[in-house]
A and B are shown apart, each in its own frame.
Chain A
């Protein structure tokens, strides 16, 4: 019987049925970082347990690292303590740690693929909801809580119920100036922030076939913002070409065998899905959020929703709440909204292709006076690649601060924070209240090039106009 990738990977990793009907699922790859793992190691010690597969467990540090300071101790003693705790845990249990001194440190969802640890047909868990990113390779990858990190450390398994599978096909051609980020913001806007609850999203269609691995990662990254714990793309030649030669990718004869098995793991033609959604690529425009969840997005030409036009009381209340927080006017165009900060980075859009694309347009342009603009590569390797190509110079010449790898202003755990009610044009993935470090800070999510357009004009702008793309 033809099967979806999700079911095949699930079945291959199903250890046994548990008493409550859930499955004990084998986790082939466990990624950990400093924020959600320390308590799990504490629980492990309390129970007197060991790490079951240290060689399948990989650590990096990303959330708390200051992007303007390398030397330790860090100015924030709590950040320093978390750093040391992770170091101690990795040393004690024999776990590979891509520490800052290795030149391989970075955001966990950038490091895994970069090292070739993320592979098709595998299961990947990490105490981080954006673990869905790794699904771009045709892996079943998902975020877990700290108690489940303990479970994976101790048993290399977790208890989980199966998900339904929704295939989201995007066919046709994207218009110029429309990026992977716009595709996922459009999907979330269309299906809702909880539309994916209980589902794994399988992204497919001509647009995904043409997408690079980095573009696929951008989309899979934000699956969870649409409520889907898992998002994936079937592996193909693009996937294999990306992985070939990476440090943890299979080598020689093993490579050929692996590629053969990866081909076989892709969803079979004619397999059944619990739901299918089709989207015409030409209907997707550069998209910007105006509210306090990633589903509250509009295309750059639209106006900010008016609660008076809401269809239901519920919708009206959520628009009211969002506009009150965002201090935006209903009915006003989003274009022209003054920004204070421009942030380019994160596990959504902090990869080489993101910086390269922006640098191509940024040459000879200047960040608008009064805008604080920072560019933060997602890993030390991305930083190095950019620096080799002179991309860092392009950003610095334009007036961006070029920083060291980390999560930076994506969330409020390191010194990069909004101040007061600053409005930030951001390439990250969450616009929740207070997400970027100030309890009243405001975030507009958009593609990297739209962030650059906002940075150089000082306003939310249409990158296609600012950079003459047509």
Chain B
């Protein structure tokens, strides 16, 4: 299975401000009553985007200027809470290809990487600068460069951090580990054989 080498993402961006945005907010649990991930994109941030009657609330994702954005800018501890992969799946199916945040929750970060969604960290000030540039010209394109480890939009250029293991996996096209894990099966069996509770 040859995977794409994800070295940079370029597209319009949208800023969803806030810290500790949890996965229940990203995809409310009632939309997880499904046996496939199809169609989840529609429900991204549903309860903060829509009223009970389905009409739209004020939310950056409802703002026509940001429609079609593929890079999400946000705050600290993004994706905390539930391990549901439905959250990154909804983000991806909504059209996002990368996330730049002040910080990510652990499980969410791993889930995104496995789906080939780069999660880059930048300082609060730098995210504010990117967001300001995007707000000034929502049609401008932002580039997240995984090789140079920076994000650029218009005249703004800021450093970003991506954990080495994730960056390596993305730029070398091995973000879905299944192939490598299968190759390691003989070693897995040997390791299991050394553990009494698995040797039986």
Which residues of A are at the interface with B, using a C-beta cutoff of 8 A? 12-16, 18-22, 24, 26, 28, 35-36, 38-39, 42, 47, 52-53, 56, 63-64, 76, 78-79, 81-82, 85, 119, 121-122, 127-129, 131, 142-148, 150-151, 154-161, 193-194, 197-198, 224-225, 227, 229, 250, 257-258, 261, 293, 314, 318, 321, 411-413, 430, 432-435, 437, 439
B55 → A minimal CB distance (Å): 13
Task: Please measure, in the bound complex, the distance between the C-alpha atom of A76 and the C-alpha atom of B80, giving whole angstroms.
Answer: 29
Which residues of B lie under 8 Å from residue A82 when comparing CB positions? 33, 35
Task: Please measure, in the bound complex, the distance between the C-alpha atom of A28 and the C-alpha atom of B195, giving whole angstroms.
Answer: 9
Q: Is the CB of B185 within 8 A of A147?
A: no
* The residue from B18, B36, B107 contacting A129, defined by CB atoms under 8 A apart: B107
Q: Is the CB of A15 within 8 A of B114?
A: no
With known contacts A194-B103, A412-B28, A413-B29, A155–B185 Cβ distance under 8 A:
yes
Minimum-distance CB pairs A-B, first 4:
A145-B111, A143-B83, A145-B85, A159-B177
Task: Please measure, in the bound complex, the distance between the C-alpha atom of A257 and the C-alpha atom of B88, giving whole angstroms.
Answer: 43
Q: Is the CB of B196 within 8 A of A258?
A: yes
Which residues of B lie under 8 Å from residue A156 when comparing CB positions? 188, 192
Q: Is the CB of B192 within 8 A of A26?
A: yes
Q: Is the CB of B195 within 8 A of A145?
A: no
Say if the beta carbon of B176 comes within 8 Å of chain A: yes
Say if the beta carbon of B105 comes within 8 Å of chain A: yes
Task: Please measure, in the bound complex, the distance between the C-alpha atom of A439 and the C-alpha atom of B172, giving whole angstroms.
Answer: 41
Which of A121, A156, A258, A261 has the most C-beta atoms of chain B within 10 angstroms of its own C-beta? A156
Say if the beta carbon of B150 comes within 8 Å of chain A: no
Q: Is the CB of A146 within 8 A of B85?
A: yes
Q: Is the CB of B184 within 8 A of A198?
A: no
With known contacts A15-B187, A194-B76, A144–B181 Cβ distance under 8 A:
no
With known contacts A144-B107, A146-B85, A147-B114, A439–B182 Cβ distance under 8 A:
no
B3 → A minimal CB distance (Å): 12
A139 → B minimal CB distance (Å): 11
Q: Is the CB of A147 within 8 A of B22?
A: no
Fill in one digit per residue for B81-124: 1 if any A CB lies within 8 Å of its CB, else 0: 11111101100000000000001111100110011000000000
Which residues of A lie under 8 Å from residue B7 when comparing CB positions? none
Task: Please measure, in the bound complex, the distance between the C-alpha atom of A76 and the C-alpha atom of B34, giving whole angstroms.
Answer: 12
Size band of the B side of the interface?
Answer: 35 or more
Q: Is the CB of A85 within 8 A of B168?
A: no
Task: Please measure, in the bound complex, the distance between the C-alpha atom of A432 and the C-alpha atom of B85, giving whole angstroms.
Answer: 18
With known contacts A128-B83, A151-B181, A26–B18 Cβ distance under 8 A:
no
Knowing that A36-B83, A197-B104 touch, tell me 17 more A-B residue pairs with CB under 8 angstroms.
A14-B191, A19-B172, A20-B165, A20-B168, A36-B84, A42-B36, A82-B35, A145-B110, A146-B37, A159-B180, A194-B80, A227-B106, A250-B197, A293-B20, A321-B18, A413-B29, A432-B25
A154 → B minimal CB distance (Å): 7
Say if the beta carbon of B149 comes within 8 Å of chain A: no
A447 → B minimal CB distance (Å): 21
Task: Please measure, in the bound complex, the distance between the C-alpha atom of A26 and the C-alpha atom of B190, giving whole angstroms.
Answer: 10
Which residues of B are at the interface with A, using a C-beta cutoff of 8 A? 18-20, 22, 24-25, 28-30, 32-37, 47-48, 52, 76-77, 80-86, 88-89, 103-107, 110-111, 114-115, 163-166, 168-169, 172, 174, 176-178, 180-182, 184-185, 187-188, 191-192, 194-198
Which residues of B lie under 8 Å from residue A24 when comparing CB positions? 180-181, 184, 187-188
Q: Is the CB of B103 within 8 A of A18?
A: no
With known contacts A22-B165, A145-B83, A154-B178, A197–B33 Cβ distance under 8 A:
no
Which residues of A lie under 8 Å from residue B30 when comparing CB positions? 412-413, 437
Q: Is the CB of A145 within 8 A of B88?
A: yes
B187 → A minimal CB distance (Å): 5
Task: Please measure, in the bound complex, the distance between the C-alpha atom of A229 and the C-alpha atom of B106, giving whole angstroms.
Answer: 7
Task: Please measure, in the bound complex, the distance between the C-alpha atom of A76 and the C-alpha atom of B33, giving whole angstroms.
Answer: 10
| Interface CB pairs A-B, < 8 A, 24 | A20-B165, A20-B169, A22-B165, A26-B192, A26-B198, A28-B195, A38-B36, A81-B35, A85-B35, A129-B81, A143-B107, A146-B89, A157-B188, A158-B177, A158-B181, A197-B103, A197-B104, A224-B107, A257-B196, A258-B197, A261-B196, A411-B24, A413-B32, A433-B47
Q: Is the CB of A433 within 8 A of B188?
A: no
Task: Please measure, in the bound complex, the distance between the C-alpha atom of A258 and the C-alpha atom of B197, giving whole angstroms.
Answer: 8
Task: Please measure, in the bound complex, the distance between the C-alpha atom of A198 and the C-alpha atom of B169, giving whole angstroms.
Answer: 19
Which residues of A lie under 8 Å from residue B83 when comparing CB positions? 36, 127-129, 131, 143-145
Q: Is the CB of B177 within 8 A of A434?
A: no
Q: Is the CB of B28 within 8 A of A318?
A: no
* The residue from A63, A128, A434 contacting B28, defined by CB atoms under 8 A apart: A434
Task: Please measure, in the bound complex, the distance between the C-alpha atom of A97 and the C-alpha atom of B90, giving whole angstroms.
Answer: 29
Task: Please measure, in the bound complex, the distance between the C-alpha atom of A38 and the C-alpha atom of B35, giving whole angstroms.
Answer: 5
Task: Please measure, in the bound complex, the distance between the C-alpha atom of A47 and the C-alpha atom of B36, giving whole angstroms.
Answer: 16
Which residues of A lie under 8 Å from residue B115 when comparing CB positions? 147
Which residues of A lie under 8 Å from residue B29 when comparing CB positions? 63, 411-413, 435, 437
Which of A76, A78, A439 has the most C-beta atoms of chain B within 10 angstroms of its own C-beta? A439
Which residues of A lie under 8 Å from residue B178 when comparing CB positions? 47, 150-151, 154-155
Question: Nearest chain-B residue to A192 (Cβ)?
Answer: B77
Which residues of A lie under 8 Å from residue B77 when comparing CB positions? 193-194, 197, 227
Question: Nearest chain-A residue to B47 (Cβ)?
Answer: A439
Q: Is the CB of B24 within 8 A of A434?
A: yes
A233 → B minimal CB distance (Å): 19
A403 → B minimal CB distance (Å): 19
